């Protein structure tokens, strides 16, 4: 029914050694690059359109593009005045006013129409990577596991300004409220459909790159003298922190957004990933 191409490189490196009689360490790293492209689907011109709930956004899969790419309107700033609107390509989608988002005339026909929709983002990252560090000093041990994702986009649909009772993003403090006040944030008005989910655009695109400390564990293994007194073969205590810190660029709870095979990377307000702190004992009698 079709052909899909994935090209990339997978690398993994590791090293371990000892320093004197008390120290030991191990370091490992991995890197995976990927370039995704649909070669063919059923027949020429065929497109898989996978919509989200309420048709907020359509993810497109078609030959010549990455799978599940985001489809919508490219931005060209904010309408500043009535004369600005008059001198811009005619928007046939809906009535626009100063303070509204201005879309690009992609096909160059002098009008803003549905035909101006195009690829506005790719949910597939350019590469993923990870690091693991293990340290040991006498009876102490420390391990740190880290990972990251780079080069993908996220489409935000959880905060599209449909209802005035919802809190707004902090960026909306810099909204348009008069000519020359903003070229990136539209007017704060729920009546302007061009600025909401009705017309998917680059305005809702976010950088999906992130770096996360996935796990940290510090442990201590008791020596044989104490174990003999306690009549144990082994005793280790540890503290563990899972997902203690994430550096991200998107405004949602988490940058790790799932989905289906042809519609993923759509941030519809998933449950946040918790940080979990635990304490444990490993006993062997």
Amino acid 193: pLDDT: 87
The neighbour count for residue 125, using CB atoms within 10 Å, is: 21
The neighbour count for residue 254, using CB atoms within 10 Å, is: 19
- Name the most confidently modeled range: 3-17, 149-163, 261-275: 3-17
Tens of pLDDT, residues 223-234: 887 777 777 888
Sheet with 205-207: list strands edge to edge. Answer: 205-207, 153-156, 266-267
Cα angle 58, 206, 258; round to 5: 60
Q: Using 50, 70 and 90 to split pLDDT, how confident is the model at 235?
A: confident
130: phi then psi, degrees, rounded to nearest 5: -160, 155
- Provide mean pLDDT across the span 10-19: 96
Contacting residues for 106 by C-beta, under 8 A, at least 6 apart: 74, 115, 116, 117, 118
Q: Using 50, 70 and 90 to split pLDDT, how confident is the model at 184?
A: very high
- Provide mean pLDDT across the span 240-247: 97
Residue 81 has pLDDT above 90, yes or no: yes
61 strand-pairing partners: 48
Distance CA 240, CA 215 (A): 7
- Provide mean pLDDT across the span 133-162: 91
Q: Which of 73-87, 150-164, 177-191 has the lowest mean pLDDT?
A: 150-164
Amino acid 51: pLDDT: 67
Pick the more confident residue, 260 or 143: 143
Residue 167 has pLDDT above 80, yes or no: no
């Amino acid at each position: 029914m079709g052909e899909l191409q994935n090209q990339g490189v997978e690398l993994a490196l590791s090293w371990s050694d000892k320093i004197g009689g008390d120290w030991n360490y191990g370091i490992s790293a991995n890197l995976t690059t990927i370039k995704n492209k649909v070669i063919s689907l059923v027949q020429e011109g065929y497109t898989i359109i996978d919509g989200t709930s309420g048709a907020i956004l359509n993810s497109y899969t078609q030959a010549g593009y990455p799978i599940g790419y985001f489809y919508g309107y490219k931005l060209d700033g904010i309408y500043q005045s009535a004369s600005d609107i008059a001198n811009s390509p005619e928007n046939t989608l809906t009535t626009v006013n100063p303070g509204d988002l201005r879309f690009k005339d992609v096909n160059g026909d002098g009008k803003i129409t549905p035909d101006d929709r195009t690829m506005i983002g790719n949910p597939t990252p350019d590469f993923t990577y990870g690091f693991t560090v293990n340290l040991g000093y006498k009876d102490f041990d420390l391990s740190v596991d880290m990972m990251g994702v780079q080069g993908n986009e996220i489409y935000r649909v959880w905060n599209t300004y449909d209802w005035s009772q919802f809190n707004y993003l902090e960026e909306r403090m810099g909204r348009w409220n008069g000519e020359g006040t903003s070229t990136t944030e539209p007017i704060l008005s729920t009546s302007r459909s061009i600025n909401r989910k009705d017309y998917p655009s680059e305005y809702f695109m976010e950088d999906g790159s992130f770096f996360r400390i996935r796990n940290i564990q510090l442990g201590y293994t008791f020596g044989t003298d104490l174990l003999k007194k306690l009549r144990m073969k082994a005793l280790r205590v540890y503290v563990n922190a899972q997902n203690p810190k994430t550096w991200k660029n998107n405004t949602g709870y988490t940058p790790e957004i799932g989905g289906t095979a042809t519609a993923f990377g759509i941030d519809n307000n998933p449950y946040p990933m918790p940080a979990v702190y635990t304490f444990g004992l490993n006993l062997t009698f």
